[in-house]
A = this chain, B = another copy of it.
């Protein structure tokens, strides 16, 4: 039952030709006659031979594999990105190998090592929250490995990257809230050593400044990304003397938490309190009121990252050239902030 794996040598023997000829026939090499090529292909079909890519990859010094490291694969944004990467790479004959860092620095270090030992042709990654610098990545870069960062990038490294304009996404959202007549806008932030959260906060602060609105310290909450933290923070600020009339969160999850608590405390959304989140998680359009948020097209980001990957390994560009792509975010205005109509 369990057949031994056939090799090109078996095919060669059967056809009384050499293994190299079989190899050439299979690789559509030009220096071979139509006749033998067809003979070989027929024999391959007949016998059920399947090439061993491990061997061919070893010989070619190339694995036709992209390593992907994400904090967690089951976060919609990241799985969307992976989907986009896969969509672009598969037609090019590349395969992807996945690792999760689980936001841990140590896991990230190990994943980098594992993928390197597998001789992947490059790594597409988004950094773990725990990784406060990029020394572990530098080691590989110095050895000539390719790393492409997306979303959470290593800004202290000269590296190819794909991000969205988080600053702009935040700025536009705050501008929108102001235009809706909100005057005291609270902000939920994330760990600020991560570029995306730093940028979102900067967008928030700049928008307030541009419109001459003061920043109230008690309304800027740090490290507030989960639903629970959002509920907690909301209760706190709504009970304070200096109540906000809107909440802009760096995360859809804490925005949902805010929504729950605001309703519990008897305020109306968007009449009394406006709410906006960030990321356009699928649930944001399903809750009621539906949540205003910023879309960061994960699938597209994955596609772009994959293209950058292909460019960098097919070296149309010279070695030192790094691509830095910044995608445009889209503000999606929904019920939770829309009181003008």
Contacts and interface: CB of A to CB of B under 8 A. Distances in A.
A44 to B, nearest CB: 13
Contacts of A113: 50
Interface stretch (A12-20, A204-212, A279-287, A333-341): A279-287
Contacts of A82: 73-74, 98
Contacts of A116: 50
Interface string A66-107: 000000111110011011001100100001111110000000
Contact of A95 (B87, B118, B142): B118
The complex is assembled from copies of this chain, and their number is 2
Given A1-B142, A73-B79, A80-B74, A98 B86 contact: yes
A97 B95 contact: yes
A137 to B, nearest CB: 15
A118 B54 contact: yes
A119 B90 CA distance: 17
Nearest to A72: B83
A48 B256 CA distance: 48
Nearest to A75: B79
Interface string A104-115: 000000000110
A332 to B, nearest CB: 16
A254 B52 CA distance: 44
Contacts of A48: 143
B74 A79 contact: yes
A254 B2 CA distance: 45
Nearest to A142: B1
A231 to B, nearest CB: 13
A324 B21 CA distance: 45
A74 B299 contact: yes
Contacts of A53: 117-119
A57 interface: yes
A53 B114 CA distance: 9
A97 B287 CA distance: 35
B74 A95 contact: no
A74 B76 contact: yes
A181 interface: no
Given A80-B74, A286-B286, A286-B287, A54 B63 contact: yes
Interface string A43-58: 0000010111111011
B51 A2 contact: no
A341 B287 CA distance: 23
A143 B2 CA distance: 5
A256 B119 contact: no
15 contacts: A1-B142, A1-B144, A52-B58, A53-B117, A73-B83, A73-B86, A74-B82, A74-B83, A79-B79, A86-B100, A95-B99, A96-B97, A97-B98, A282-B283, A283-B283
Interface of A: 1-3, 48, 50-55, 57-58, 63, 65, 72-76, 79-80, 82-83, 86-87, 90, 95-100, 113-114, 116-119, 142-144, 256, 282-283, 286-288, 298-299, 319
5 A-B pairs closest in CB distance: A2-B144, A283-B283, A79-B79, A74-B79, A74-B83
